[in-house]
Structure 1
Amino acid sequence: MKKLKSIVATLAMTGLSYGLAHADQVVKIAVSGPLTGPQAVSGKDDENGLRMAIDELNRTPIKVDGQVVKFELLSEDDQADPKTGMQVAQRLIDQHPTAFLGPQNSGVAIPVSSLTSAAHIPMLTVASNPQLTKLGYNNIFRTGASDALLGSSMATFAVEKLHAKTAAVIDDRTAYGQGLADEFVAKAKSLGLEILDREYTTAQATDFLGILTTIKSKNPDVIFFGGYTPQGAPMAKQMRARAVRAKLLGGDGICADDLVKVAGPASANVYCSMSGAGLDGTPEGRAYIARYKEKFKTEPQAYGITYYDGMLLLANVISSAQTTDPEKLVQALHRANFKGVAATYTFDKVGDLINAPTTIFTFKDGQLVAFKQ
């Protein structure tokens, strides 16, 4: 009887060991972004892009050391606020994720980077302020173009395509908006584009009539706005209402179909630069748009595709390096070379995307489209 119990116990333990050896390996992926407030549309787009990539990967899973890897999404709302961002980032890090995607906003990403660095977790972010990758952390990977590229590309566009001679500049005083505007001004001056005025607003403002009245009196050819759609959309509408003849330029923060909902016909006078190639310009991009619309019943916005690509990049690195250890993945990401939908992802020594592509967009028939002259 004792012998029988011993055999049963042995078989049970063997079965348990077998089950454990073949259990799925759960890999947690953290993301934070503005899921409420004025930038909620953009933040939800980020989460959607990441969620779509995770769902696709879990349907055709990768393996590490023979174990199937299942990805689990951990998402928090940072409200585009640095203080809230630090709190939710720490809450996410306490759950021991393998990687952290986001934050979207530079003003949140810069302080949060200290937490992900201390935790030795790879951080993949679209935050574009150049300061982010100058902090000395080796775990930061910028998956989009920096302000240096986005701002300077719009200055070049203003001079070479719009034949502008003069410009006014407005920024929202965020790390993103101010950094973007600074880069535009620097490139504009080098090209001989005269800056007639520089004005400031906030990331909560919706009334720009005072600023626009001042700028209108100086009659610039273009107005460059460093900020996001919740301000860019009413600004464009108010420019039209006040017969401001200048074209409105901006970075990826205003490159969103959602701008049309507020700006209406005034959106036709708006131009913006965005990291990556236009999605509708490639078969892969068009396929992403179709899958996104089918899954979420809404149009994709500016950053979701980069979060989608970022997750596929991470999965590719996990598969090729055969590890889910965050510290080892940091080293592997520095050696990565992955062709995604929006870009090819390979990074320089500080974590900036090498040869980050940018595309100029405008709005036509209520849709965001790549500019073609």
Structure 2
Amino acid sequence: MIHFPRRLFIASLIALMLSFTWSQSFGEMVVKIGVSSPLTGINAANGKDIENGVRLAVEEANAQRVRLGGRDVSFELDSVDDQSDPRIGVQVAQKLVDDGVAIVVGYYNSGVALPSALVFASAGIPMIHPAATNPAITHQGPKSVFRIIATDTQNSGTAGKYAVNVMKGQRIAVMDDRTAFGQGAVDEFKKAVTKGGGKIAIAEYTNDKAVDFSAQLTNIRAANADILFFAGLDSQAALITKRMRELGMRTQFVGSGGIADSIFLNVAGPAAEGAMAWEYGRPVDSLPQGRTFLQKFRKRFGTDCLIYAPFAYDATWVAINAFRQANSTKPVEVVAALRATQHEGITGKIAFDPNGDLTNPTSTLYQVKGGRWVPVTTIGAE
């Protein structure tokens, strides 16, 4: 019998274990999913909500041990802070490209999404939008851009028709924050009002840094407007409703997209009562998987989700399922799989039209009653 020295035996065992570990690591494929959203600044809460929605889906997928091309896959979250700034958005978009992400879930701001999309298109990287709603995002040319949320044409168009046909608005005012989202939403609202035979009595605007809206509201009051449709930040919407109350205005406030949240309620205070907002999709807790999602989100992050986490979660699973369907991360094959998507998500049925937008978008009108947002009606866009 041959006897090995003890130290040689231990060294050989360690080498064998390292070799096994290396071979296992070598066989695993790391697939990076990029996320761009505002993680600092005034929109950080919504940006973090998006990031957490993606993170939850990535963790669940890794627990399922997905395989592609015969190899185990480890999905990695690669998150960047675009600060709601188009210039910074383009810079961090290039970082995601350099990092080798296979797909991108983003954005929160349409104004950041529009220029950043071209960076990913030139690199052949597909994108899925969970929050950016300007219609132009999916009409810039690249056919690798998708969106799982209603566009401004759909959401604000629905709001405009409702203002004329149901609310019977006679003298309708509009105000936007001059961002790509704000202007786009108001433009679509105005088109729908005019098409429905309504009248825009006055159009005002501000900027996304403003905190005083006295001049605009004084003009709107003088125009005797019965409805004010505002498209901008939730915090600004809350300040506008407070100032309307202080000015003794009876004009009905109606907001668009991302306003029906706790931030609005906290800032507006008693002035929030009666305010309305058109939001994307259906109330999550009314959908088959909605309550389960809300519970596991709270368990994982210790807080309730805001508006966009369910959309970000769904966008991530649509991406992961596209990888599975294609059995690959090659962009051409993944884009083809995305175009064939038929996914029952938290937010509802997800399928894409030729532009990459939802085939069955919906919008829900909420109103503040008793200090909380209550759904009034849900309407499918035409």
TM-score, scaled relative to structure 1: 0.92
Shift of 1:255: 2.8
Match of 2:149 among 144, 147, 154: 144
Aligned residue for 1:80?
84
Aligned residue for 2:349?
344
The alignment partner of 1:202 has SS state of coil
Amino acid in structure 2 at the alignment position of 1:354? T
Aligned residue for 1:94?
98
Distance in 1, Cα, partners of 2:48 & 2:372: 19
Aligned residue for 1:212?
217
Do the aligned residues in 2 keep the contact of 1:272 with 1:360 (CA within 8 Å)?
A: yes
Aligned residue for 1:317?
322
1:31-68 C-alpha deviation (Å, 9 max, x unpaired): 11111111111111111111111112122232212322
Do the aligned residues in 2 keep the contact of 1:276 with 1:359 (CA within 8 Å)?
A: yes
Q: How does 1:352-371 map to 2 (within 5 A)?
A: 352-371=357-376
Larger CA deviation: 15-24 vs 264-273: 15-24
Aligned residue for 1:330?
335
Do the aligned residues in 2 keep the contact of 1:136 with 1:350 (CA within 8 Å)?
A: no
Check if 1:28 corresponds to 2:32.
yes
Aligned residue for 1:255?
260
Larger CA deviation: 234-243 vs 167-176: 234-243
The alignment partner of 2:258 has SS state of helix
Unaligned 5+ runs, structure 2: 1-11
CA 1:237/1:17 → structure 2, altered by over 3 Å: closer, same or farther?
Answer: closer
Do the aligned residues in 1 keep the contact of 2:86 with 2:112 (CA within 8 Å)?
A: yes
Shift of 1:21: 8.1
Unaligned 5+ runs, structure 1: 1-7
Distance in 2, Cα, partners of 1:223 & 1:277: 23
Match of 2:307 among 302, 305, 330: 302
Shift of 1:195: 0.7
Aligned residue for 1:104?
108
Q: How does 1:57-72 map to 2 (within 5 A)?
A: 57-72=61-76
1:292-317 C-alpha deviation (Å, 9 max, x unpaired): 22222222212111100000111111
Aligned residue for 1:3?
none
Do the aligned residues in 1 keep the contact of 2:175 with 2:231 (CA within 8 Å)?
A: yes
Distance in 2, Cα, partners of 1:16 & 1:295: 33
Match of 1:187 among 176, 181, 192: 192
Aligned residue for 1:279?
284
The alignment partner of 2:91 has SS state of helix
Distance in 1, Cα, partners of 2:27 & 2:136: 42
Distance in 1, Cα, partners of 2:222 & 2:46: 34
Match of 2:159 among 142, 150, 154: 154
Check if 1:113 corresponds to 2:117.
yes
Larger CA deviation: 284-293 vs 360-369: 360-369
Distance in 2, Cα, partners of 1:270 & 1:24: 52
Distance in 2, Cα, partners of 1:92 & 1:269: 43
Amino acid in structure 2 at the alignment position of 1:329? V
1:93-146 C-alpha deviation (Å, 9 max, x unpaired): 110001011122111100001001011111111311111122111111012111
Larger CA deviation: 132-141 vs 175-184: 132-141
Aligned residue for 2:3?
none
Shift of 1:372: 4.8
Shift of 1:17: 10
The alignment partner of 1:253 has SS state of coil
Distance in 2, Cα, partners of 1:207 & 1:35: 25
Match of 2:54 among 44, 50, 55: 50
Do the aligned residues in 2 keep the contact of 1:362 with 1:371 (CA within 8 Å)?
A: yes
Aligned residue for 1:4?
none
TM-score, scaled relative to structure 2: 0.90
1:201-231 C-alpha deviation (Å, 9 max, x unpaired): 0011111111111111112111001112121
Check if 1:288 corresponds to 2:302.
no
The alignment partner of 2:273 has SS state of helix
Shift of 1:79: 1.0
Shift of 1:12: 6.8
Shift of 1:282: 2.1
Do the aligned residues in 2 keep the contact of 1:305 with 1:341 (CA within 8 Å)?
A: yes
CA 1:24/1:266 → structure 2, altered by over 3 Å: closer, same or farther?
Answer: farther
Identical aligned residues as a percent: 37
Amino acid in structure 1 at the alignment position of 2:276? Y
Do the aligned residues in 1 keep the contact of 2:176 with 2:186 (CA within 8 Å)?
A: yes
CA RMSD of aligned residues (A): 2.2
